[in-house]
Amino acid sequence: MATTVRRVGILHGAGYVARELIRLVAAHPGMDLDTVTSVSRAGQPASEVHPTLRGVIDINLANPADFDPNTVDVLFSCGHHGPHYDEIVSIDASGFEGVIVDLSANFRLNDIAAYPAYYGFEHAAPELLDRFTYGLTERNRDAIASSTRIANPGCFATGIALSLAPLAQELSGLSAHVVALTGASGSGATARQTTHFPDRDGNVRAYNVWKHRHTPEILQCLAHPVSLSFVPASGPWTYGIWGVLTIDGVPKGTDIGALFENAYADCQFVRLTHDALPELGHAARSPFCDIGWMTRPDGLVAVGFALDNLLKGAASAAIQNANVALGLDEATGLLPTVRATALS
């Protein structure tokens, strides 16, 4: 049976996440990469901006001013938080009927008052904010399937929300203390003093202690309120996030394994491990979030997670969301297709 191929546009294509999206779209059996835009690198070949794409894709980055969104069916936006949300507002107002997956935080939060508090800008398009569906596929698949406007989750938010949601679905009064470390690629392609790798190598540095931007995003994913204390840190590696949640308030005898197994029974990109915490190296450079847990007799629970910040924390999650919105299997273009050949 022939596969319907959707034309794809990627906005702001010079960064690390865009590089991963370009690679994934190029290999996707139901997508054809039509346009990649960039303000700073317009006119340059994508393989020059992203040398790992040499031999993978032959396309020049376009000036956003020259891009007509109505030439594509699916649009991924990799713009920064704040400055580019008016671009999406304009595209939506132009009558664009395709799927938009926005990878910034511009449309993630339910509470519009959280934008100035956590991101430093007043959101001027609350009517569009209401139309975007939060794209944590494992928790919101049905809503994504009926939406054409999807807000892709943040990387820390993905791991922490997936780790907390099965418990918060059934239990109230929980308290979670989180420490999570992210690799250098999470800081973007532009070097800064605090992210420059010679300063990062052999070092761990906490930042935004108890006030990370993903905090309201995590809390809005949970069925019951959780008291959340989150300490993020920069780790001395390139790809991946590893974190551990110490959770109080779980009644003794709670079958933690059953809660996680029931929550993720039909989720292809969550891998569970009983009685052990996951290792970062097994999840980095993959589309999976690995989750494991350990319990003490007094009810204290440790839940660990590991994921790739550029993939499950961004680009592969965006492909997952687009697949669901397009009515495809969410693993299309992300996992190998195995074809059984009959032996004669």
Give the model's pLDDT for residue 234. 95
> Hunting for tokens 């069925």 — which residue is that?
223
Mean pLDDT for the stretch of residues 290-301: 95
> Hunting for tokens 């605090």 — which residue is that?
194
Q: Are 246 and 176 in contact (CB under 8 A)?
A: yes
Domain 155-307 CATH superfamily = Dihydrodipicolinate Reductase; domain 2 (3.30.360.10)
pLDDT in tens, 51-67: 999 999 999 999 999 99
Could you give the angle at the alpha carbon of 281 between the alpha carbons of 263 and 177, nearest 5°? 55
Q: Are 72 and 98 in contact (CB under 8 A)?
A: yes
Higher pLDDT, 339 or 75: 75
Mean pLDDT for the stretch of residues 229-258: 96
Residue 219 Cα distances to 33, 179, 215, 224, 269, angstroms: 35, 16, 6, 9, 21
pLDDT in tens, 114-161: 999 999 989 988 889 889 999 999 999 999 999 999 999 999 999 999
Looking at the predicted structure, is the pLDDT value of residue 211 above 70? yes
Give the model's pLDDT for residue 2. 52
Helix 137-145 with 155-170: angle, nearest 10 deg: 90
Looking at the predicted structure, is the pLDDT value of residue 338 above 50? no
The proportion of the chain whose per-residue pLDDT surpasses 70, expressed as a percent, equals 94
The ranges of the chain annotated as CATH 3.30.360.10 are 155-307
pLDDT mean across residues, the chain: 93
Q: Are 121 and 115 in contact (CB under 8 A)?
A: yes
Catalytic residue among 155, 221, 267, 289: 155
Give the model's pLDDT for residue 191. 66
The ranges of the chain annotated as CATH 3.40.50.720 are 6-152+314-325
Give the model's pLDDT for residue 188. 73
267 is an active site residue:
no
Domain 6-152+314-325 CATH superfamily = NAD(P)-binding Rossmann-like Domain (3.40.50.720)
Q: Are 283 and 268 in contact (CB under 8 A)?
A: no
Give the model's pLDDT for residue 173. 96
pLDDT in tens, 247-290: 999 999 999 999 999 999 999 999 999 999 999 999 999 999 99
Could you give the angle at the alpha carbon of 160 between the alpha carbons of 289 and 23, nearest 5°? 40
pLDDT in tens, 64-123: 999 999 999 999 999 988 877 889 999 999 999 999 999 999 999 999 999 999 999 899
Looking at the predicted structure, is the pLDDT value of residue 340 above 60? no
Looking at the predicted structure, is the pLDDT value of residue 339 above 70? no
For residues 112 and 134, what is the distance between their CA atoms, to the nearest angstrom? 14
Give the model's pLDDT for residue 15. 95
pTM over 0.85, yes/no: yes
Residue 25 Cα distances to 13, 101, 289, 325, 335, angstroms: 13, 13, 20, 15, 13
